């Protein structure tokens, strides 16, 4: 272990009244290689079809509202992974108990494809309103058939987060046709995204957010950025905005433990 003192001021604290009683393609290997100075705890939550680790990084403070951020569910939607990597690799996070999963579908990210190495859309593979879909939304031979799906289900059952944000592209909006529209509208306002209804033209079959919201007491929300968000937005603006949603901030004058 190495002890590192960071001397920065607290900044960016937002009060979340009434809600928190709670760019370019990046290689999959780069997504999972933080700098040596980063302060974090890593958990391998499972492995992909091709054996790549699916890593979750634990940031923030225990005893606070639990938040999970997920990106890279579809390998052709890489831009939001930069938001999570920036949070992982930057100053200490305070005010929330935070987990980030920047590369949920590492095989798809390595190939730049929507689906995993079995050709399954992971966001149609969950055991809630699952249906046998084909084409780009191929949902697999059965619900939870994929190792990535099972890994995420185990992880979320273990963590039991209060809030999940699942980042995607390219529809450019935040779904407010949800059980907690007030929170969804807050997310859209702070992230500077339009509100929308992501209803899949009817029922969204086998989605992660649908499964979680049916299965646990926390709340999962889909956030869609546009097709080509700028690198500046993903690495310099959006990370702070995401923390603002939950009244959290970065920076500490305490000792960080780095291992």
How far apart (Å, rounded) are the C-alpha atoms in residues 150 and 50? 15
How far apart (Å, rounded) are the C-alpha atoms in residues 126 and 143? 6
Q: How many beta carbons lie within 10 A of that of residue 195, not counting itself?
A: 15
DSSP letters along 195-253, please?
Answer: EE---TTS--TT-HHHHHHHHSSSEEEEEE--SS--HHIIIIIHHHHHHHHTT-EE--S
How far apart (Å, rounded) are the C-alpha atoms in residues 161 and 82? 22
Q: Where are the alpha helices (DSSP H) in 26-180?
A: 28-31, 81-89, 106-111, 147-159
How far apart (Å, rounded) are the C-alpha atoms in residues 165 and 19? 15
How far apart (Å, rounded) are the C-alpha atoms in residues 213 and 67? 14
Q: Which positions are annotated as active-site residues?
A: 224
């Amino acid at each position: 272990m190495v002890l590192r003192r960071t001397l920065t001021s607290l900044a960016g604290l937002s009060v979340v009244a009434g809600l928190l009683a709670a760019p370019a393609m990046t290689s999959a290997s780069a997504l999972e290689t933080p700098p040596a100075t980063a302060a974090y705890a890593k958990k391998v939550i499972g492995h992909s079809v091709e054996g790549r680790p699916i890593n979750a990084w634990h940031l923030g403070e225990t005893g606070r509202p639990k938040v999970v951020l997920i990106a890279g569910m579809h390998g052709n939607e890489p831009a939001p992974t930069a938001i999570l990597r920036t949070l992982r690799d930057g100053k200490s996070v305070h005010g929330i108990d935070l987990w980030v999963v920047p590369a949920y579908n590492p095989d798809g990210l390595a190939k730049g494809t929507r689906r995993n190495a079995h050709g399954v859309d992971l966001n149609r593979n969950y055991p809630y309103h699952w249906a046998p879909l084909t084409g780009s939304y191929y949902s697999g031979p059965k619900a939870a058939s994929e190792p990535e799906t099972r890994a995420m289900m185990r992880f979320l059952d273990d963590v039991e987060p209060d809030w999940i944000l699942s980042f995607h592209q390219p529809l450019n909006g935040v779904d407010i046709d949800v059980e907690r529209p007030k929170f969804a509208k807050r997310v859209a306002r702070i992230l500077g995204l339009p509100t929308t209804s992501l209803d899949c033209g009817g029922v969204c079959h086998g989605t992660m957010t649908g499964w979680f919201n049916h299965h646990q007491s926390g709340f999962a929300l889909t956030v869609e950025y546009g097709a080509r968000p700028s690198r500046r937005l993903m690495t310099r603006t959006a990370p702070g905005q995401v923390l603002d949603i939950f009244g959290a901030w970065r920076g500490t004058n305490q000792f960080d433990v780095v291992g």
